Structure 1
Amino acid sequence: MTASLAVFGNLTIDDLVFPDGSTRWAVPGGSAVYAAMGISLWTGCASIVAPVGTDYPIELLGNRIDLSRCQHVPRTLRNWGLYEEDGQRHFISRNATRNWSEFCPKQTDVASGYQTAAHIAPMPHDLALELVSALRKVGTSSISLDLDDHDLLGRTNLEAILGLLGGVDLFLPSHQDALAIFPGAEPLEGLRRLRSYAPDVTLIAMKCGSEGVIAHVSGAKECIHVPAVQVDLVDPTGAGDAFCGGVLAGFAEKNDPIEALLYGAVSASFCVEGIGFAGLANATEEMARPRLATLQHRVEFQSM
């Protein structure tokens, strides 16, 4: 099984601590898994390009995820995941897997298969930059990017971050990412500042959790607000990554930034309805289409 849309990122096993004191141990996940699930909701299949350990329960991924391009490593990246009351999350690698770069794809992995479009999930800045360059060289038509908030902490070189953005089509940070770049900035102000620094990126979309997404298409006079789909929240883990996958799938299919945002919001809505990636794994495109139709009527525009 192969797929033309690929996610470059990581697979993880996470030990989670929630604001109410509850915990969940050894949860299989990883940004690449959630993004690929967000894609496959619309396409039927997505490839993951990431190291995978023998301890990862790949049987839980079903037949919608192509792992044939994954390099096998002795163990999977293991994290502590700490959730705050305000929605912020902090992931800290466990001591035995603290060198995150060892659990991320490298530029040589681009040649392991073919992708018409690719999403680069959070990873160290230098690795992401190498992947963008390699993907462009092999003719990948659309590239989306989500920032690594580990890398943003303490990084003051805005020029380096913006150099990475120059090579992508879809930039999909969270508000938490934007705050790391522009401390204190409200979402709209952060969006404006990002756009002023990166005028040629086709779409910049800032994920704002339960408040939905605010976005701007290059050259437009207005910004876009796509609200979150109204569903019962079970587990927010991976929703932002699922959104990214849905956006890439929508953009690849429709070549329309607004439609791409809607696809992303619907992917995220299924993600939060189950524990881990169960909500997405059980969702189908037939289930997604009614949500998409409803959400199309809730899109709002405001002056940039």
Structure 2
Amino acid sequence: MTQRQFVSLGMFIVDQFLYEDGDGNPTGRGLDPQIGGGGTYAAIGARIWLDPTDIGMIVDRGHDFPSHIQAKLDSYGSDMWLFRDDPTRVTTKALNHYRGDHRGFKYLTPRVRLTPQDLNGTSFERPKTLHFICSPTRALSVISEVKEVEGWSPITIYEPMPDRCVPGELPSLLEVLPSISILSPNAEEAMGLLSIPLPVTQAKIEEAAAKLLGYGVGEGGQGSVVIRSGALGAYVVSRTKEGRWVEAFWGTNDPHRVVDVTGAGNAFLGGLGAGLKFTQDLYEAVLYASVSASYIVEQEGLPSIEPDDGSWNGDSPQRRLSDLRKRSSL
């Protein structure tokens, strides 16, 4: 059985939306239920570069699974999804509550969490790169299951859960870091874990990355820290190369191209996992990641693929990669 390049343990979620102004009054804006979940966005970020047969994600499908969402998933390639049907439950749903500039998030149904053991006996088992989103405490359990599989040493891309990026989780994070290949919080999450006060600045991001790397990411191997920083781009530092910034494809000079940043960080990491197939250089792989994120922010929800020519949103990923490579001088 061929190993998949990228498999995510993130969940599939049907997102619902509520929009209010700063005073809590309805804005009149509406949005139909959308495909959501960090794992889903990560899988699509990888799909921008990889064939469906090189990607894997489990989708727990309840009896109420919307047909328009099924059609959208199928448009990306059915081989990348493993649907698990349970007629006794509903599909996992969550509410995205926007009040002014503040975004709240809460689950409306019980969650079905995935672990490496869920990959056993499927075409997704023992992937080359494993992506997971969870608390540092739960990351310890994920890594424990990975180590139980003899002969499997995947590249691990760990994305901490935003609401668990607090100082109290730091001891668990320190325990799991030696087994993590790539640690990637966003800027606010990294600063929250390390008690670095806001506002976000490039200097503080570089400080956080240096501290996290020093705490033992991938100790004895090729450990790296990638701090995702929105329009500022991403700061990358590893045990073998000095830190450097890689700019966002749509940065501060292109604010009109950014419609919705939901899922951009997840897709970034899917693009990163895909990029590692084509290059042995993490810094180069981050260019693939930045391009993946660029397609996510251009609309609400997921981008569209043109199967005839492989373009996304009517534009070529390879063209964007070439453009960003020139701008970044990597």
Shorter-chain TM range is 0.7 to 0.9
Aligned partners of 1:84 and 1:169: how far apart in 2?
37
Equivalent in the alignment of 1:118: 129
Count of aligned pairs between the two proteins: 293
Q: Is the 8 A contact 1:247 1:263 kept in 2?
A: yes
* In structure 2, distance between residues paired with 1:198 and 1:19: 43
Partner of 2:154: 141
Give the Cα separation in 2 of the matches to 1:248 and 1:281.
22
Q: Which of 108, 122, 143 is the equivalent residue of 1:132?
A: 143
Instruction: Note if contact 1:271-1:279 (Cα within 8 Å) is conserved in structure 2.
Output: no
Q: Which amino acid aligns with 2:60?
A: P
Of the three residues 216, 230, 233, the one matched with 1:209 is: 230
Give distance in 2, aligned partners of 1:59 and 1:80: 22
- Which stretches in structure 2 are left out of the alignment for 5+ residues? 22-26, 199-203
Match of 2:291, SS state, is helix
8 Å contact kept, 1:16–1:81: yes
1:237: Cα distance to partner?
Answer: 1.4
Question: 2: CA distance between counterparts of 1:106 and 1:128?
Answer: 10
Deviation at 1:130, TM superposition (A): 2.5
C-alpha separation in 2, matches of 1:76 and 1:157: 30
TM-score (structure 1 length as normaliser): 0.84
Q: Which amino acid aligns with 1:40?
A: R
- Counterparts of 1:68 and 1:227, CA distance in 2: 31
14-23 vs 160-169, which deviates more? 14-23
Q: Give the Cα–Cα distance (whole angstroms) in 2 for the partners of residues 85 and 226 of structure 1.
A: 31
2:212 aligns with 194
| TM-score normalized by the length of structure 2 | 0.78
Within the candidate set 259, 265, 273, 1:248 is matched to 273
Find out whether 1:162 has 2:163 as its counterpart. no
Separation in 1, partners of 2:138, 2:62: 20
In the alignment, the residues of structure 2 paired with residue 83 and residue 210 of structure 1 have an alpha-carbon distance, to the nearest angstrom, of: 21
RMSD: 3.0
Aligned residues of 2:47 and 2:76 also touching (Cα < 8 A): no
The answer to whether the 8 A contact 2:10-2:39 is kept is yes
Structure 1: gaps of 5 or more residues: none
Alpha-carbon displacement from aligned partner over 1:149-176 (angstroms, at most 9, x marks no partner): 23335x6141201222222211111112
Q: Report the counterpart of residue 24 of structure 2 in structure 1.
A: none
SS at match of 1:16: strand
Q: Could you report, residue by residue, the CA deviation over 1:188-239 in whole angstroms, capped at 9, with x for unpaired residues? A: 222122122125352210111121111102132x312111113611221111
Q: Percent identity?
A: 22
Q: Is the 8 A contact 1:117 1:248 kept in 2?
A: no
Q: Deviations over 1:25-65 (max 9, x none)?
A: 42221111111011111111121035333434222112435
Q: Find the counterpart in structure 1 of residue 64 from structure 2.
A: 55
Name the structure 1 match of 2:105: 91
